[in-house]
Chains A and B, each alone.
Chain A
């Protein structure tokens, strides 16, 4: 197990380093001069250029520039936001909480609705409930999240007044935040419902066809018990995998949802920074979200090893 864990960590760190290289070189691929890009599209003054040279080493060869940039990155120095003229870290850190909250909330909704729906569909396979579930979840996948968001804001926020239609409940307790983020999280979670329920459905069906289920049935265990204790447990691996992978999509989707609901998270900051050509902030947010995604993938891979012992053996032979 230790070896499996170590190999996964090494792997993810390697990918993380590769992604920093990618983000670093994107800055140099951009049309024009990187210093101009970082300066919001305007040619920098001599003083600004001097600052950029110190922070990024633009007067040095490219590989050296990357190492300088990486060193500052590790130290938490991500440059200066053109929009606020303060350090990028001070702009980003206050907004991390909301985005994390929103993403976790959406994942919880996706799992709590999608997995039971998938199990029910598998058990009553090809019945009317299966059909309704698949068409219903497919429709939610097809509706862009921001449209679901707008419709829910109008219906549940303005007409029925069950939940706040706008804002993230930035000042207030955990419950205020939960209240404010319910509509955005539901809009986000519903978009991934189809994937969660379909994967659960096919995994459970695959499991139900296996001999150990027939064996359990033959020994006289009741239908619900067979499903709950034997089929669902065996189908956990793909379900955990899909949830982990889907978090990446939800992190991307959160950008759009935050923008639609006017939430002060990383996503809406990303959009306004792209529109305002605040490149240092864009870079930093991209790195942060990517690191977060890699961390989640790592956790999922490790869970995978816990659930299914065979996975660990694969790690040994590789």
Chain B
């Protein structure tokens, strides 16, 4: 039993993307509805066809009851979400495919909606002041968090900086390598109307930018955004009759080694994968299910909350050897359209928009359809990822043709 090509993505939709707070007075729920209706329309389907939801990272607050009620879904037959956070982005489509392959549902919506007003992810792990309710800059104190927070680590970017520092120490990775990821991603965003950051980014700009948490500067950090993205997945058979050619779910995997665990909010990961994205076991299973290897991937949409984590995913997905991510990007390999593996052709979380990784799935679909703004010529296999994060991280391979 395998998921391979049992399901296909048939619709993608999104609101426009906003800088943090600028989506008001819309609500996140409303944006989720708009993106879902857009994705169904893209597929040539309606709400009457929907019978499932496969979410992640507490999209819709982790509950679909009101959404189904308000949109008038005739019957919900599957509703679930991956545990964890942004690591589940790509994997939520795998969850949809699992529901479809098992026969539990036939037309499943995955989505993320985000409005960073009440909370800002940049300080997700800041301790709350005594006697204060949780606010924009605070999180509940936990027995495990007590072993991290007093050190001054209060945000994910600071925590991933610790992993990046170790990678530099072990392998000689340089800030110029992180800069190449930020700059190549920006170049891709510059050609896209949907992107929030379209000004040229030079190496001088990068090195003159303020340092946030060494070795990460401003441009190593993703954007803080509002918006929603939805993806509709159905059976491979039904996909043939819809508006676009099917985009097959060739493979999806999520999870990670147990002792990767809470990862950055723990810092106790095994020594041999501390300076990694945590994706290695997911990548292995993903390629096994897909029946392909990294050399077969035409375009990679790698979750880029922080630029060093793109570099580590390039290693962990086998596009280069462990520790060789720096020289690999330095060679121009990830540039569109000239590189051997164009990465984040949509401008990523770094320069297009941060909707917790769902823009990567949307771009993977458009690349396979052949309709991407920065189209990789002849793209047949696209990789999209979610995380690096605590367990689960996830991966998804989308395909133009069924496996043969």
Say if A and B assemble together. no
B residues contacting A by CB (< 8 A) are none
